[in-house]
Structure 1
């Protein structure tokens, strides 16, 4: 589940912070994405992951949705909700009716939005322009990213950026074990009206919930 959440955050935030000079065209495209996303007060989107095995066959498909307001986020995926109000993280497992509560520390959490917002490109990946292609009927620029840390499980990440809207529409992630994640982002909604209460977990709304406090 952490891997799925990590990929979800990667695809939603990867273009949101200042970039050092690498590939000039890739930088220009990513800065356009950054400018658009950073100009939003909130956003919502749906996403889908398709895990393809080394043999090319689809092993698993998961769908979910995501909402963000400033540094706050709420992810729904595979029967779980991951909620953060910038101070606390709640991970709710619906089937077990259990919620785990932990402190939010951007310095310690590799999958936190704060970390991705501040140093994702500059410290962890190199990037280059890799051409253009159609994704879900949209003309997209393709950016290829490679981890600077060769010890990472990921070998390569590909982003497809809609040329017209300057939003990420999908892409691919390759792992060294031969697995490949294909993902799509749909129903991107800029500046939806989202209450701050959506970014907290209300135990009263979940009768009988088991609370596991890890703080």
Structure 2
């Protein structure tokens, strides 16, 4: 199976519609709380896991990764792939081919970045409601079910689980029309730790022989 990185996959399933929504006010209060808290943080370092379940409950892939964020800058690293952005330029590096692709950052709201995932990406994309509250691994989770307004997209449902105590996203599970399900679980979330600015740019000197594909 081809390498899958967290936010690239999310971008493929989400599109902003710009339509007015009528949503569950309880769910909106929870999501707005997550967004408000995230915006107060200077930096975030988080570890996550990705599990891909195929049709008939068959597990087809499982990966782990790490993300560093500072404002709109980020780096995502997972199993031989890196996704880096300084909010002006983005670099996608694949270790297997030793190749990096460079693009200008799309500043429109149509592009979902790691920072937007933890803020208010939901307002224009989805109808949402508070489904239930559950307890898992000692955490009280508020589970919010989202359905995209654009029915042509491959994703027909997303369930976002919010840690009630910390007001942070614990898990995002997407359900695709082809029967595949993608579960992204935040295994650790550390705010306001020192982050080297160099993380948010790609230094080819650190990747000997790298092939550069510049699409800017």
Distance, in Å, in 2 between the alignment partners of 1:182 and 1:204 is 35
Shift of 1:21: 6.0
Provide closer, same or farther for how the CA distance between residues 115 and 189 of structure 1 changes in structure 2, counting only shifts above 3 A: closer
TM-score, normalization: structure 2?
0.86
Alignment of 1:94-173 (within 5 A): 94-107=95-108, 110-113=111-114, 120-173=121-174
Helix, strand or coil: the match of 1:67?
strand
Q: Secondary structure of the residue that 2:199 maps to in structure 1?
A: helix
User: What per-residue deviation string (whole Å, max 9, x for no partner) do you get for residues 48-100 of structure 1?
Assistant: 11111110121111111111100001001231101000111111111222111
* CA–CA separation in structure 2 for the residues paired with 1:105 and 1:149: 21
Corresponding residue SS for 1:150:
coil
Runs of 4+ in structure 1 deviating by more than 3 angstroms, as ranges, are 1-4, 6-10, 108-119
Q: Distance in 2 between matches of 1:134 and 1:171?
A: 16
Are the counterparts in 1 of residues 23 and 128 from structure 2 also a CA contact under 8 Å?
yes
Higher relative contact order (CA 8 A, sep 6+): 2
Does 1:188 pair with 2:189?
A: yes
**Partner-residue secondary structure (3-state), 2:46:** strand
TM-score (ref. length: structure 1) = 0.87
Matched, 1:5 2:7: yes
Gaps of 5+ in 1: 11-18
CA contact (8 A) 2:158 2:174 kept: yes
Q: Distance in 2 between matches of 1:92 and 1:109?
A: 22
CA gap 1:115/1:194 in 2 versus in 1, 3 angstroms: closer
- RMSD, aligned CA: 2.5
Question: After the TM superposition, which of the residue ranges 112-121 and 190-199 deviates more from structure 2?
Answer: 112-121
Deviates further, 108-117 or 38-47: 108-117
Q: Measure, in 1, the Cα distance between the counterparts of 2:58 and 2:215.
A: 38
Of Structure 1 and Structure 2, the greater helix share is in 1
2:56 counterpart SS class:
coil
**Gapped runs of 5+ residues in structure 2?**
13-19
Distance 1:108 1:157 in 2: 19
